[in-house]
């Protein structure tokens, strides 16, 4: 990001100038930004050359560096941190904004999630020509997009609802039904919109009776929802829906996430999770038949130094697995696993934790800096 940092110091308006003449899509949300951005870029590749981040750098410096290095590409698909969306949108005047989901994340940096929802709502109001691709299953996302004149609603799923038990507009309870419908008890008009796009275990469905097989290369129901939003956004920018659906299925490993590597007599698959919603989804992807499971947690600034969210994650799902707690905050994790009734051992060094697992496949679930540092350690060990 150093190029972007320097460029912004030299010319504070450089982001606007680099965005002139480009059709731009912004992708934001608490979880799934990098995956969905990569999927949308792939889906738009058949329309025109696309500029996008290679490494997920989603704040000002990373966005400026990406635009600077890709001048001449008429389309831009940019992952944007939730806090940065309003001023990035003001600079780039995007054609499309993809809103994935909103939940609690790094309270010591981001703050309460309802504040983010209100900032996004205000930012969207500044761009009446913007097309918003919004997840209608997420109450907070729906609230942020609800008043926008151009919304494409996508039933992308909401596996985590712990941060939207009350209406973000009135504070009254949200009532949910077994079929996924929801409504506010304080405002009869604020309820789940009818989706324009949705998916099931086999297909994606869209306007005018569109149906196509949906086969993402990345695991998990959440990624089927991400793929559906990517297709909807691509179609809004002129892509053929059938070709866009095929293209999102070509996206596999994203910056090491879901990647498989060999380390000694272990085959290591790495999953990244950064907040309660992400952890809950990632835990559902764990292969419980694998001989080893390493869960690595750090508490550095990029992770959020407050790890009280560990108590919101349902680790009880691993009562039958042998787990190793690793990372700088392995002791905190170990206490949580103890109360969850999970049999485990504690080995702070993730590389040593992998080595302590039985030979064969090892599932590794790690938060941001633990994931990054272990990836670097595995690369060095392979040389």
| 303 included as an active-site residue | no
Q: How confident is the model at residue 110 (pLDDT cuts 50, 70, 90)?
A: low
**For position 267, which CATH number holds?**
3.90.190.20
Domain end call among 248, 268, 287? 248
**Counted domains in the chain:** 2
Q: For residue 297, count other CB atoms closer than 10 A to its CB.
A: 26
Q: Are residue 184 and residue 232 in the same domain, yes or no?
A: yes
Q: What's the pLDDT score for residue 316?
A: 83
Tell me: do 140 and 69 sit in the same domain.
Answer: yes
Same domain as 178, residue 75: yes
The single residue of 11, 147, 187, 306 carrying the catalytic annotation is 306
254 within some domain = no
Give the CATH number for residue 116. 3.40.1190.10
Pairing of strands 131-135, 96-99: parallel
How many Å separate Cα 51 from the centre of its chain? 19
DSSP-assigned states of every residue in 263-306: ETTEEEEEEE--SHHHHHHHHHH--TTSSEEEEE---STTT-S-
Segment 322-338, tens digit of pLDDT: 799 999 999 999 999 99
Has this prediction a pTM greater than 0.85?
yes
**330-366 per-position pLDDT tens digit:** 999 999 999 988 899 999 999 999 999 999 999 999 9
Domain identity same for 215 and 360? no
The range of the structural domain enclosing residue 199 comes to 2-248
Instruction: For residue range 81-104, list pLDDT tens digits in order.
Output: 999 999 999 999 999 999 999 988
Please state, for a pLDDT cut of 90, what percent of the chain lies above it: 70
Q: Which residue has the higher pLDDT, 21 or 316?
A: 21
Over the stretch 149-174, which tens digit does the pLDDT of each residue have?
999 999 999 888 888 899 999 999 99
Confirm whether 253 is domain-assigned: no
Same domain, 58 and 133: yes
Give the pair of three-digit tokens for residue 234.
């691509």
Residues 334 and 135 sit within 8 Å (Cβ to Cβ): no
pLDDT per position as a tens digit, 57-68:
889 999 999 999
DSSP string for 129-155: TPEEEEETT-HHHHHHHTT-SSEEEEE
Pair 184, 301 in one domain: no
Residue 105 in this model has a pLDDT that exceeds 80: no
Q: Does residue 346 lie within any of the structural domains?
A: yes
Residue where a domain terminates, one of 191, 223, 248: 248
């Amino acid at each position: 990001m150093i190029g972007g940092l320097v460029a912004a110091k030299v010319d504070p308006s450089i982001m606007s100038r680099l965005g002139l003449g480009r059709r731009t899509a912004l992708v934001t949300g608490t979880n799934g930004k990098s995956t969905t951005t990569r999927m949308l870029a792939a889906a738009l590749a058949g329309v025109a050359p696309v500029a996008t981040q290679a490494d997920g750098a989603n704040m000002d410096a990373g966005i400026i560096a990406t635009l600077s290095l890709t001048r001449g590409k008429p389309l831009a698909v940019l992952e944007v941190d939730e806090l940065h969306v309003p001023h990035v949108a003001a600079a780039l005047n995007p054609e499309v904004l993809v809103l994935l989901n909103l939940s609690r994340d790094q309270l010591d940096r981001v703050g309460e999630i309802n504040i983010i929802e209100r900032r996004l709502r205000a930012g969207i109001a500044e761009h009446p020509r913007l097309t918003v691709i919004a997840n209608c299953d997420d109450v907070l996302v729906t609230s942020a997009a609800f008043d926008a004149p151009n919304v494409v609603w996508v039933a992308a799923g909401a596996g985590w609802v712990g941060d939207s038990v009350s209406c973000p507009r009135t504070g009254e309870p949200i009532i949910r039904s077994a079929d996924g419908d929801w409504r506010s008890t304080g405002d009869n008009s604020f309820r789940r919109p009818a989706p324009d796009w949705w998916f099931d275990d086999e297909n994606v469905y869209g306007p005018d009776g569109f149906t196509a097989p949906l086969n993402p290369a990345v695991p998990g129901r959440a990624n089927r929802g991400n793929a559906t939003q990517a297709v909807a956004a691509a179609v809004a920018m002129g892509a053929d829906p059938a070709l866009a659906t095929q293209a999102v299925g070509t996206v596999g490993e994203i910056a090491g996430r879901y990647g498989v590597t060999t380390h000694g007599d272990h085959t290591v698959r790495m999953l990244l999770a950064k907040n309660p919603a992400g952890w809950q989804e990632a835990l559902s992807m764990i292969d419980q038949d694998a001989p080893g499971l390493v869960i690595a947690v750090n508490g550095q600034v990029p992770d959020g130094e407050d790890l009280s969210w560990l108590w919101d994650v349902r680790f009880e799902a691993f009562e039958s697995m042998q787990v190793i707690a690793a990372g700088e905050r392995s002791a905190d994790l170990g206490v949580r696993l103890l109360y969850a009734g999970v049999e485990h051992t504690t080995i702070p060094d993730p590389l040593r934790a992998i080595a302590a697992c039985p030979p064969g496949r090892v599932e590794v679930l790690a938060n941001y800096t633990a994931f990054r540092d272990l990836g670097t350690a595995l690369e060095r060990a392979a040389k």
